[in-house]
Amino acid sequence: MALFRHPMKSFILLILIVFLSNTAYAQTRSVFLEDLTWTEVRDAVATGTVTAIIYAGSTEQNGPHMALGKHNFIARYVAQRIASNLGNALVYPVLPFAPTGDAVAKTDHMRFPGSVSVSESTFAAVAREFAQSAAAAGFRNIALIGDHGGGQEALARVASDLTTQWRAQGIRVLYVPDAYVKSFELVTEFLARQNLSPGQHAGLSDTSELMAIDTDGRWIRQDKISANTPANGVDGDPRRASVEFGQQFLQFKVDSAVAQIRNLIAQPH
């Protein structure tokens, strides 16, 4: 071939092929740890992927119009977006259970069939051992995030305790409340400008977020959307929920979390 009469051109072509192959692999490789092999995780950590994201969801009632896994579906989506934005992070499997009420006395969400609850102490213990697994894998920054109100204080305690314990090893466990607290403040301000309220549970904001990722209609029952009543598990009015609202609210979560993670990592250890 004429190409091989020009060694320099052949060399440049070879470099381009290798570069493009590596780039394509980097762009298509999943950020979800469960999609990878152990050697891929090892190599990712060795080459600078030093942040682990541990996101807690919840399995709980969300009114008659939304699936029980709402928090888990949103957590997985947001975690993937956070990791992609950070560029050096992998996402651990979503923790699907949180404190949601007393199963014996049937309080809070446990009044409704299908909800699952674990105690604060159990939730904290699982989060702690999740983080220990990430540290064992070599991650240096371990972000704990919750999409559910229950368990937020437990995540904060675990992060503080483990960071103190592992400081000498250069490992930090980061509690990232802005994905939940700050983003909700932004949602509330956004909707207030339109004379709307987000609702406290399964209302406009929650329903919109799930709508935005429910691309095949598995998780939203459109014909069941109605305002709250004392018996249906909804606190708010989801009737004005929309995909457009949901996309904005999810962006608030992603942006708030990414900014806080970067800020926490940048602080002296």
**Per-residue pLDDT at 18 exceeds 90:** no
- In this prediction, residue 23 has a pLDDT band, given cuts at 50, 70 and 90, of very low
* CA nearest neighbour of 67 among 183, 207, 205, 180: 207
Cα–chain center distance at 233: 24
- The answer to whether residue 2 sits within a structural domain is no
pLDDT in tens, 149-170: 999 999 999 999 999 999 999 9
- The answer to whether residue 19 sits within a structural domain is no
Q: Packing angle between helix 243-266 and helix 204-213, nearest 10 degrees?
A: 90
pLDDT in tens, 221-241: 999 999 888 799 999 999 999
Q: What is the pLDDT of residue 29?
A: 87
Q: What is the pLDDT of residue 6?
A: 57
Q: Are 147 and 56 a contacting pair, CB within 8 Å?
A: yes
**Per-residue pLDDT at 15 exceeds 50:** no
pLDDT in tens, 119-134: 999 999 999 999 999 9
Q: What is the pLDDT of residue 238?
A: 97
- The answer to whether residue 139 sits within a structural domain is yes
Q: Which domain holds residue 195?
A: 30-266
Beta bridge partners of 144: 54, 175
Q: Which amino acid is at 67?
A: A
- The answer to whether residue 1 sits within a structural domain is no
Share of the chain above pLDDT 90, in %: 87
Q: Please give the model's pTM, rounded to 2 decimal places.
A: 0.89
Cα–chain center distance at 90: 11
> Cα–Cα distance between 110 and 34 in angstroms, integer?
30
Q: Which CATH number does the domain housing residue 90 bear?
A: 3.40.50.10310
> Cα–Cα distance between 155 and 145 in angstroms, integer?
8
Q: What is the pLDDT of residue 28?
A: 53
> Cα–Cα distance between 238 and 85 in angstroms, integer?
30
pLDDT in tens, 61-118: 999 999 999 999 999 999 999 999 999 999 999 999 999 999 999 999 999 999 999 9
- The answer to whether residue 7 sits within a structural domain is no
Share of the chain above pLDDT 70, in %: 90
pLDDT in tens, 170-181: 999 999 999 999
- The answer to whether residue 8 sits within a structural domain is no
> Cα–Cα distance between 116 and 96 in angstroms, integer?
9
- The answer to whether residue 14 sits within a structural domain is no
Give the lowest-confidence range in 9-23, 128-142, 226-240.
9-23
* Mean pLDDT score across all residues of the chain: 92
Domain count, the chain: 1
Residue that is written with structure tokens 């937020």 in the block:
152
Q: Which amino acid is at 64?
A: P
**Per-residue pLDDT at 257 exceeds 80:** yes
**Stretch 32-60: mean pLDDT, rounded?**
98
> Cα–Cα distance between 59 and 237 in angstroms, integer?
21
Q: What is the pLDDT of residue 229?
A: 80
Q: What is the pLDDT of residue 7?
A: 53
Q: Are 154 and 120 a contacting pair, CB within 8 Å?
A: yes
**Per-residue pLDDT at 25 exceeds 70:** no
> Cα–Cα distance between 254 and 193 in angstroms, integer?
22
Q: What is the pLDDT of residue 5?
A: 55
* CA nearest neighbour of 209 among 232, 179, 229, 230: 179
- The answer to whether residue 25 sits within a structural domain is no
* CA nearest neighbour of 58 among 155, 132, 133: 155
Q: What is the pLDDT of residue 227?
A: 87
